[in-house]
Each structure stands twice: as C-alpha cells, then as structure tokens.
Structure 1
Amino acid sequence: MINEKPEKLTVKQQSVVTAALKLFAVKGYANTSTKEIALTAKVSEGSIFRHFHSKEGLLLEIINPLLNSVFPAELYEFSQMTLVPDYKDLKTFISRFINERLDYFQTNLETFRILLGELIYANDMRDKILQSIPQDVISAMTKQFHDLQNKHLLVEWPDYDIFRFIFSTMIGYLAQHFILFPEIHWNETAEKERLVDFITQGLTPVK
C-alpha cells in the first residue's frame, strides 16, 4: 500500500504524516496550514519544522515513496499483466487499461488525490511523475500501440499523442470525480463505460 510510512519515522512523526495526508486530501495542499496539521496530529507546530523543515518537505515525505518505488514497481507489474500482444479489438485493451488504473487509484485514494491536485497545478510535480515512469513500461506501452496499429485497430498517431490523449482524458475524469465535484454521487459503472467508449472512439481509425 502506498500510504505506508517509512520505518525511520517515530510515532509522533508518523502521526504528523497521517494528519497531513488526510488534510491535504480533503482541503488541498495549498489550503492546509502547518498549524492545522499540528492540531490534528496533536503535536507542536515547531516539531513539524524540526523534522520536515517545511510544508513542502512534509508533502515530499508523503509522495516520494510513491514516486521512487511503489509507483514504478506497480507500473512494471501492470505492464507484465496488461500489456500483452493478443488483443483482438481496441475496446478490450482500453477497458482493461482504464479499469485497472482507476481501481488502483481508488484503492489509494487519499495519496493520489494529493498527487492529482499537485499534478494539475505544479510543473515540477508533473516532471517528477514523468521521471518516475520506468523506461521498460514506456517501451511496453509503445510496443502495445504498435501491435494494435499493425492490426489496424489504433490510429496511426505518434506514440506521444496517444499517451497524451489517454492520460489527459483519464486525469480529467479523476479530477472531476475526486477533486472538483467529489460530493456528487456518480454512477461509477456507467461513467467508466462512457470513459472507455470515449477513448476507444477517439483512437479508432476512420475507415
């Protein structure tokens, strides 16, 4: 699980990270103060600065394990299970890809809500996320695209444009559901089906 804390943290430090995780997820990083974190964790504000130095340092304590180890490892596992050259149609591939990524996101909702919020607004965070994607996974995705293109199931776009279309659409879906309008009771099954249909239709070659 990505919300496990490093063993080096003391009990007090873990309580600070847990409090920050919950507050960042609910209020957003920019709207959360170190004073609120200290009150929630029942520690002094000074103790936060002594160990984490700043609010940004606390944010990095939460997301660095995700970007440096868990996220790359999970992506590698995903590439081994999902990126296989035997898809008979594009929708099957898109459906499996989208549903597995969304399930993973929802399993680790709090941390990814923070990450997604920073992804939208912070250029340096986008760079860190892109750098955390293993080259093997990018190569596997590219190979998958080429296999589907050879079967005339996928548009003959550059790999980068296909990546951008899939991930920007998926990020828009996640932002709408978990950041912009989390209070709405979405019909997740119907919403996922529409998302899959939208991406599939957008990437299907015109005949």
Structure 2
Amino acid sequence: MNGNETMEQWIQELLRNDNGVEKMTEKQAKILQSAIEVFAEKGFAGSSTSEIAQRAGVAEGTIFRHYKTKKDLLLSIVAPAMTKLIAPFVLRGFNSVLDADYESYEGVIRAMIENRIEFITKHRNILRILMQEIPFHPELQEHFQRDVLAKVLTRLQKLVTQFQAKGQMVDLPSMTVVRLSISTIMGYVAVRTFYGERKDAVWDDAREREETIAFIMRGLGISK
C-alpha cells in the first residue's frame, strides 16, 4: 500500500458515520486531508488555518463554517481516528500477536516489534499527529487512554500472567512488566522510524533490534 492509498483509506474511514454513510461534503473532505498533512508536517501550534485552507483550495472562512476553531479541527481528526481506526487497527494487529502460541516471552517481543513497525510504516502521518499532540491536549489523552491504551494493556497483562504462572518470568506486577516492555519497544521503533530510516543515519537495524530484545529479557531476569 503506498502513501496515497493509505491516506485515502484514512480519509474514507473518517468521513463515515456509524452507519457507514458518508456525511461530509467534498470541501470538508479536502479540509480534513489538508489538515492531516499540515498538522503532521508542522504540528498543531505551527500550523495555521489559512495554510490549511490554501492547501485545500477553499476560503479560510469555509473552515470556520464547519469547525469553530483550529482545535475543533484537530479534535475532529484525532478523536475519531483513535476511536474508529487506531484502536481497532491496534487491537486487530495485536490479536494475531497475542493469540498466537509462544514458547517464550522473547517470541512475543519479536512479534510485537515487527507488528508495530508495519503499522507505523502504513499510518505515519496520523501517528505523527498523535505523538506530537497527545501530550498537550487533555481531550486527546482521555481518548487515547480509553480507546487504545486500556484495551491493549488488558490483553498484554493476561499474556504476561500466563508466562508468570509457568514460572518463566520474574515475579513483578504484570503491569510493570507490560510498561517496561512497551516503553522499550516503542523507544526502539520510534528512533528507527524517525532516525534510522534517514539516508544519513548510522543505524544497524538488525543489531539494534537484537539489543533491544536482549535488554528487555535481561531486565526481566529471563535468559535468552
């Protein structure tokens, strides 16, 4: 799937209401797509509605007929993205990871890393907006915690508990194990995505991945 197809997929999903009936006008769709591009490139604070309007080919006043403020425009993109897209995509991707039968926790870590790299590669713009804006907007934090984080953490906790019951993992609170694992994995994936893929980057991805896995395993007191 190339970038244009991915963006089109996001736009079409965001345009639909719960009954699957498109409810936005063509101008709204253009505004939405332009806002995603500009927010991803410049961040919310560095973006302007005039630039979004220019890129969408509409008058700036048209934006304010549909969205009262720039913040409303941001929320109209990110909140539905998390509720309808991010959460289902994350859980759908994790289902194949978490429902598989692993002999060791190392297998889980490897599967999670591969799954997240694929996910971020396909949905880079929306995810860049989420990473940039969630820390600064309480409304987005609430959506993220309810629609994404809580569901993912619950699934991972159950998996960790199963390994602990078999005596294959250090006796720590399951949430602590999940938190340490996710933070390390996402740190690797984020640096790989926004630095390691640069042409001028000095980055040995195979080694970085193996060291990340070894770091998690050693930290949890599990021998590879």
Deviations 1:31-69 (A, max 9, x none): 111111112112111111110111111112222222112
**Equivalent position to 2:46, from 31, 48, 53:** 31
Q: Which amino acid aligns with 1:160?
A: M
Structure 1 counterpart of 2:179, which letter? Answer: R
Partner of 2:174: 159
Q: Which residue of 2 aligns with 1:149?
A: 164
Corresponding residue of 1:51 = 66
More deviation, 15-24/166-175: 166-175
CA-to-aligned-CA distance 1:70-127 (integer Å, 9 cap, x gap): 2232233234311136311221110101210221121101000100112344444233
Map 1:120-135 to 2 at 5 A. 120-133=135-148
| Larger relative contact order (Cα-Cα within 8 Å, sequence gap ≥ 6) | 1
2:36 aligned to which of 21, 26, 35: 21
Tell which deviates more after alignment, 72-81 or 40-49. Answer: 72-81
Please give the alpha-carbon distance, in whole angstroms, between the structure 2 residues aligned to 1:55 and 1:107: 26
Gaps of 5+ in 2: 1-8, 16-21
SS at match of 2:33: helix
Structure 1 pair 122–179 and aligned structure 2 pair: CA distance change class (3 A): farther
Larger displacement relative to structure 2 (99-108 or 162-171): 162-171
Confirm or deny that 1:94 pairs with 2:109: yes
- Where does structure 1 lack aligned partners over 5 or more consecutive residues? none
The letter of the residue matching 1:128 is: H
Could you state the TM-score of these two structures normalised by the residue count of structure 2?
0.78
CA distance in structure 1 between the aligned counterparts of 2:45 and 2:189, rounded to whole angstroms: 19
Counterpart check, 1:200 vs 2:217: yes
Matching of residues 57-72 of structure 1 within 5 Å: 57-72=72-87
AA in 2 matched with 1:36 = E
TM-score, normalization by structure 1: 0.83
Q: Is the 8 A contact 2:160 2:178 kept in 1?
A: no
Aligned-pair identity in percent equals 29
